[in-house]
Structure 1
Amino acid sequence: MVLNFQICDNGLISQLPNHLICHILSFLSTKDAIRASVLSTRWRSLWQLVLGLDLDSLDLGLAFASSQFSTIDDFVVFVDKFFYHHRESCIHKLRLHIRTVGYVDYSSYLTKWIDAATTRRIQHLDLHCDRLFKVAVKIPLSLYTSETLVHLRLVRVILVSTKVVSLPCLKTLHLEFVKYTDETTLEKLISCSPVLEDLSIVKYTEDNARAIQVRSKTLKRVDINQWYDREYGLVIDAPLLQFLRIIAYSTKNIKIINTGLPAKVDIDANVLSILDPNDLTSRSMMRDFFTSISRVRCLVTSYATTKDIFHYMQLEPLHQFCNLTGLSVICCISSLEMLLNLLKRCPKLESLSLKLVDYKETKKAGVITSTVPSCLVSSLKFVKLEGVLFGCGTELNVARYFLENSTLLEKLTLRNDYKEKNVEHVRQTLHAIPRCSCTCTVVLL
């Protein structure tokens, strides 16, 4: 259908039928949708027809109210009216950020609202409870069997134990600071969502849990950020996985199986800092871990992870990264030789991003004596170097190494917070370095 717009006093958008204006308003928060209603008398009540509710209990500022919600009771009344008004219609989106202080259990309110949303075929549910709650909010059982839910984000709530989970349309699951009454609840949420593609977990909390089990035949993206001192294990079993990010400072046991060919892996897991060279079990675990990510195409590692990789390489050979084309590492300036040894395990590397740090290391960078990795001759095209406030000498030496030994290099970028008076000196030094690649461009940031 083609709409014929004519310019009028209220603008082109006012010529749209009500259902299209409501659709436009659905992309706004409820606060902004109510504010927009003052633009035209015709819009005065259209926000009430929007098939979604997006509210913050302390930051609404309704256009028709003198102030924000004065009490949580006002907030409850407002949400109740919304569900009453939509008792015969579907609800596409429900986002509630409840922020209050006290010992009141708000589970009864949320149970009523989530039950109502599930009945009205909810598609997107985003529930954020403030950390100042003295009584944790429990999620009702109706949520586990929603037939229409596509996106679910829960923050600071409790997921109660259930025997039945069926979420046939769920594609995105984000859980932040969520507590579980037992460790099988999370496993069921994942395994009983047959089209789940995106999983994000921040600080998994379950007193009796020993491992996070992520098993899915459809997951494409997994982001685990644990943030705690407890020592949990982590098992990833996802054959279609394309992106994996793990931050797990205390995890001793990371097991990744059946992941196919992930496009990108981002690891920040300090798992080797206490590795005993004589502990064959730990060495075997780490060997399996590196083998499981060896087919990745892009690898990002933190300083701790890079250091642990170098530690492992001193104990036994590292598996070849035969498909790796992009590598981003944070490396101490005293470990440049180990970095080159890592590059030797990456024969198809095309892009390298290297951040050099100096965490009060007593041993400074010396002359690089290692043989040139094969990727510098056959595949490396882009190098980005970044230093952290310890002078430009080391970065220039590393830049010199890549310029003099990289046959196919197209661009080398050097970034640092140089003092203004040193910038021209650095630029002249870079320009004077002989280059193995005649097409290489040097960029100084």
Structure 2
Amino acid sequence: MNPLSPCLAWAEKLALRYEDLTLEERTALDAHVQSCQACRRAQADYQHLDARLRALPPPAVKPLPRLSPILVSAEREERSTRKPQPSRAPSPARRQRTSSFVRIIEKTLPATLVASLILALAVLFGARYVFTSLAHPLGTTLLSYTGQHDIVDAVDWSPDDRYVVSASWDRTVQIWDAKTKTRRLTYTGHSDIVDAVAWSPDGKYIASGSWDHTVQIWNAQTGQLLITYKQHHDVVSTVAWSPDGKYIASGSWDHTVQIWNAQTGQRVVTYGNDKKQPSNEFINAVAWSPDSRFIAIADRDSKVNIVDATTGLILRTYRGHTDVVNTVSWSPDGRYIASGGRDKTVQVWNAATGKTVQTYKGHSFDVSDVSWSPDGKYIASSSWDHTVQLWNVQTDQTLYTYKGHNENVEAVVWSHDGRYIASGGWDRTTQIWEAAI
């Protein structure tokens, strides 16, 4: 079997829309695609095709005829030469005409079937190529989710890009379909504002952080609470899963970043309590390196620290910003870090040397969040200037300014396949828009 072909046993269910499957089938399919790369790719192609078909306007042309024009014309010719005859055995001439028509069918029907098969294959397996010309222009708003009733402070994609999770000041975390915006689950376990959320790498769990001083881990399918982490003594402002899914780093206004086991809730390392390297500032953001060895920490004294994830000790400090740093993100290849803040800039710098390689100055107000494209070529940065800006990391050239929000934008995250961006903000919406560059 071609290693890129979907498993035969799952081919039918992959081709169906998710809403056409039973709950049991959905659960089984979700579990299977997590472990099968070929089926995961096939599923992504089907979803891409479905999204494109849903976006098409009603057809403006008539459907193609069922039979080829050759068949139709041959049949008409045969009928036009046919004369009424009494009921009797067919004449030799009639048998000859019928035989001629049958031969035409025998010659043309295979060609018709082949053409139909080619069209079907093009639709099923060449969706990305066939529909490239139908893609929405960069920045097109595909949907706006309005299920929450206060500021949307954090968003994240499921690993398969089928769902978005959004956390809000209305104290809820909501999971919804990224294509239809149908709400799948509302989590209400927190007693105060929820301002941090992250999906586990395997797609099974959500970690959410709140002003109630807790981080809660819960099942993304059922909403069942699994762990409540209570070691912080103030607002939990940021949470992040390690790329290997084993640990969570949570940052707080209690001036600490705590690294703990995602399965047991047991604390492993605390940054900020060491007498030799104390932290005296609120923690705003944390980001793991792709190899899970290091953590970048942004706080309110305008610096970013890189710490060892096993010891909590500071290895490097970046001081390029002139004001509070709100956000930090590691590049997919682990070589660079992007940080943004109140000085209205996004700065890209070498994670190994701390040397600044790019400073983006396109925003007119605080930068609230940053997200790298999966290929590491571009950055999306959100701001209190009500925009999200896409720009080239190498040249700092602005490629697009998204203006779909009418208030401060707090969160931005690129989908794992690089096609879409989700952004949320003070207008209480989470918007998904075209980001393929």
Task: Using structure 1 for the length normalisation, give the TM-score.
Answer: 0.25
Going by fraction, where is strand more abundant, 1 or 2?
A: 2
Q: Hey, which of these two has a bigger chunk of helix by percent?
A: 1
Higher RCO (Cα < 8 Å, 6 or more apart): 2
Query: TM-score of the superposition, structure 2-length normalised?
Result: 0.25
